[in-house]
């Protein structure tokens, strides 16, 4: 199987294994891409963050996540519901009240969000230092 071949044309190449560098084959990249497929885009994580403070109505989310339009919010919420990260609840009063809340499964995202938030702060600091140096 691993009969120490040299695939390089230079026969005096050091004993560096040929494989090894394939982090994808090692299954490290796949989960990352799985996660990105679900979370990618400008709005999904901000919406989830807004909901971490408790269930909210459509208009509340809209106001809290500055800049998002109704159309996009609607679509993103549908995506999140489909992926099991958000639960949509219709209360049958008049007028109808619709609330969105995180699911138990989405609570596992907290670590992702925390690390991302921390890094966002760090990166902003980094950029400021760069700017100062450049000036």
Partner DNA sequence: CGGTATCCGATAGGATACTG
Partner DNA sequence: CAGTATCCTATCGGATACCG
Binding stretches for DNA (CB under 7 A): 40-43, 57-60, 67-72, 74-78, 88, 95-100
Piece in contact with a copy of itself (CB under 8 A), picked from 5-13, 34-42, 69-77, 93-101: 34-42
Please count the CA atoms within 13 angstroms of the CA of 86 that sit on its side-chain side: 33
Q: Helix-strand-coil percent breakdown of the chain, rounded to 5? A: 50, 10, 40
How many Å apart are CA 106 and CA 52, to the nearest integer?
9
Which 69-108 residues touch a copy of itself, going by CB under 8 A?
Answer: 83-84, 105, 108
The number of residues in the chain equals: 135
Nearer residue to DNA within complex by CB, 43 or 106: 43
* 86 close to 73: Cβ distance less than 8 angstroms: no
Q: Is 45 in the site for a copy of itself (CB under 8 A)?
A: yes
* 30 close to 36: Cβ distance less than 8 angstroms: no
Which residues are at the interface with a copy of itself (CB under 8 A)?
20-24, 28-36, 38, 40-42, 45-46, 49-50, 52-54, 56, 60, 63-66, 83-84, 105, 108-109, 111-124, 126-127, 130
């Amino acid at each position: 199987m691993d009969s120490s071949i040299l695939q390089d044309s230079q026969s005096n190449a050091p004993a560096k294994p040929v494989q090894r560098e394939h982090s994808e084959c090692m299954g490290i990249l796949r989960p990352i891409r799985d996660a990105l497929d679900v979370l990618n885009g400008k709005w999904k994580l901000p919406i989830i963050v807004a909901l971490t403070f408790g269930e909210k109505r459509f208009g509340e989310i809209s106001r809290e996540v500055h800049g998002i339009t109704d159309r996009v919010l609607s679509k993103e919420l549908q995506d999140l519901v489909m992926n099991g990260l958000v639960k949509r609840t219709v209360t049958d009063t008049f007028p109808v009240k619709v609330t969105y809340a995180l699911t138990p499964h989405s609570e596992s995202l907290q670590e992702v969000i925390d690390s991302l938030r921390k890094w966002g702060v760090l990166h902003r600091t980094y950029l400021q230092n760069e700017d100062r140096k450049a000036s």
